[in-house]
């Protein structure tokens, strides 16, 4: 699993002009799922995201997690994170999991994030054409890959 994590002061996702998910201070997470991903990847990545110390403390040092900052999470599925651009100019998405594998993993990831965060998260809609807006706070952007955890 690949996650692009952005610390935001606000973020929204719209589908067909309607707001589907919206947060204030928190994390907007783009999640890419590949065929080889499983429960171990979900558990590791969820815990890393909610414990990632990228929110400022009283001295303006990035030393607090989203749990401590009392922030929210907006999770967006994004298969294009697994694009291969080695050959030619048209990306290949061969590593991205097909919906029959990716959807159950995405839903399980939502459950883990909600459990680890201790409250519901906001989401987009798997496979939908989404319009995502955000104000990146910092800017702070972190990329995590569960296959590179060692």
Q: What is the pLDDT of residues 43-89, one digit of tens each?
A: 999 999 999 999 999 999 999 999 999 999 999 999 999 998 988 89
Return the half-sphere exposure (C-beta side, CA atoms, 13 A cut-off) of residue 100: 0
**At residue 128, what are phi and psi to the nearest 5 degrees?**
-80, 160
* 80 belongs to the catalytic site: yes
State pTM to two decimals.
0.95
* 123 belongs to the catalytic site: no
Contact 146, 29 (CB under 8 A): no
Of residues 6, 12, 79, 123, which has the active-site annotation?
79
* Structure tokens that stand for 34 in this block: 């590949």
Q: What is the CA radius of gyration of the chain?
A: 15
pLDDT in tens, 17-53: 999 999 999 999 999 999 999 999 999 999 999 999 9
The pLDDT assigned to 88 comes to 87
The pLDDT assigned to 149 comes to 77
Average pLDDT of the segment spanning 126-137: 96
Of residues 6, 12, 55, 78, which has the active-site annotation?
78
SS3 of 67, please? helix
| Ordered structural domains, the chain, with CATH | 2-148 (3.50.80.10)
pLDDT surpassing 90 at residue 126 = yes
* 55 belongs to the catalytic site: no
């Amino acid at each position: 699993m690949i996650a692009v994590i952005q610390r935001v002061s606000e973020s929204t996702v719209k589908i067909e002009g309607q707001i589907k998910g919206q947060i204030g201070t928190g994390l907007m997470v783009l999640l890419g799922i590949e065929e080889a991903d499983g429960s171990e990847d979900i558990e590791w990545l969820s815990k890393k995201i909610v414990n990632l110390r990228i929110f400022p403390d009283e001295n303006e040092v990035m030393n607090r997690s989203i749990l401590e900052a009392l922030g929210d999470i907006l999770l967006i599925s994004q298969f294009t994170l697994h694009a291969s651009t080695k050959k030619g100019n048209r990306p290949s998405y061969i590593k991205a999991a097909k919906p029959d594998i990716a959807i159950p993993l995405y839903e399980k990831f939502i459950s883990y994030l909600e459990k680890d965060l201790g409250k519901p998260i906001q989401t987009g809609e798997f496979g939908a054409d989404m319009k995502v807006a955000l104000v990146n706070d910092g800017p702070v952007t972190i990329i995590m890959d569960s296959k590179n955890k060692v």
